[in-house]
Amino acid sequence: MSTIVFEAGSPRSLLSDLRRLVRHRDLLLLLTQKDLKLKYKGTALGFLWSFLNPLLMMIVYAAVFSVIARIQMPNYPVFLLAGMLPWNAFIISIMTSSTAIVGNANLVRRVDFPREFLPLATVLSSLVNLALSLVILFVFALVFRQPLGLPLLALPAVIVLQLLLTSGVALVLASLMVYFRDVENLITLATTVLFFGTPIIYRIQDLHGHANLKLILGANPLAWLIGAYQDIWHANTWPDPLHMLLLALVASLSLIAGWVVFRRLEGSFAEEV
């Protein structure tokens, strides 16, 4: 079994690390572009594949819950797609970023560069796909005659919060994967549970007579995130201010925790991968 080595190395503060990342920002952009190109290399539809998967799931769930379960919700497909797209981006980000270090072993061993760029590049590429998919969602909403208004102005803030939250999780998982390869299987299990524990295919307020369950599900930060997208696209309302403040706090703590864990564990990456 691998032994985790906590490398002190030269003391670096978060501020000095941020300066270092800014100095090498061109490398981060290049890695993000590379990730985008590799993801769709040799495919005819390109980025549209990132939209087709949640679209297919939306069709399946819409058919099941609208026809069989008979959920009474106007423009239910828009509600579903507004939740499926950011969820899909989150899942792809953490799945691909978790293997970013071990999957680039030769690069990690031979080149001295900000290694956190490897998982961060996968997060950025997934959010680029999300931004493009939201354009298609806009067209989709027009087809369903879904009212859209000023709440769309909140989208950039919500995407930034998703970036911060996902980046922190990505840094932790990419670090742990170097030492514990079972992390990949744990992610698969956790995301399956999280999917049904996050209000993507349902609304928490529709769970009548389940006060304790509503309380538990409502404390899920991903519920605040997905709910913000659904508020904007389906309810045509501004995201809940309290949830956004809580999400900002959790996202910031996630990024700090990711940075700390990555800095502690990166000293032995070259020997372990």
Determine contact, residues 228/143, Cβ cutoff 8 Å: no
Is the confidence at residue 12, as pLDDT, over 70?
A: no
State the pLDDT confidence band at 112, using cuts at 50, 70 and 90.
confident
CA 183, CA 214: separation in Å to the nearest integer? 29
> What does the pLDDT look like over 16-40, one tens digit per residue?
767 777 787 788 888 888 887 777 6
Compute φ and ψ for 97, nearest 5 degrees: -70, -30
Asked which of 36-40, 125-129, 239-243 is least confident by mean pLDDT, the reply is 36-40
Backbone angles phi, psi at 201, to 5 degrees: -100, 0
Residue 129 has a pLDDT of 87
- 228: tokens are 């913000």
Q: Among all chains, which residue has been given the structure tokens 């925790």? A: 257
Say whether pLDDT at 159 is over 90.
Answer: yes
Give percent of the chain above pLDDT 70.
87
Confidence of residue 110 (pLDDT cuts 50, 70, 90): confident
CA distance 36 to 54: 18
Q: 6 pLDDT band (50/70/90 cuts)?
A: very low
| 126 pLDDT above the threshold of 50 | yes
| Backbone region of residue 265 per phi and psi (left: phi > 0; alpha: psi in -120 to 50; beta: other values) | alpha
* pTM for the full predicted model: 0.86
266 CB neighbour count, 10 Å cutoff? 20
Residue-wise pLDDT tens digits, 40-70: 665 656 666 667 777 777 778 777 766 665 6
Give pLDDT, residue 5.
41
Q: What is the pLDDT of residue 70?
A: 64
Residue 42, pLDDT score: 59
User: What pLDDT shows up at residue 43?
Assistant: 61
Whether the per-residue pLDDT at 13 is higher than 60: the answer is: yes
Distance CA 240, CA 104 (A): 40
Question: Half-sphere exposure of 110 toward its Cβ, with a 13 Å CA cutoff?
Answer: 4
CB 86 within 8 A of CB 229: yes
CA distance 139 to 141: 5
Residue 68: predicted pLDDT:
60
Q: Across residues 130-138, what is the average pLDDT?
A: 87
In which band, very low, low, confident or very high, does the pLDDT at 83 lie, cut at 50, 70 and 90?
A: very high
pLDDT of residue 224: 96
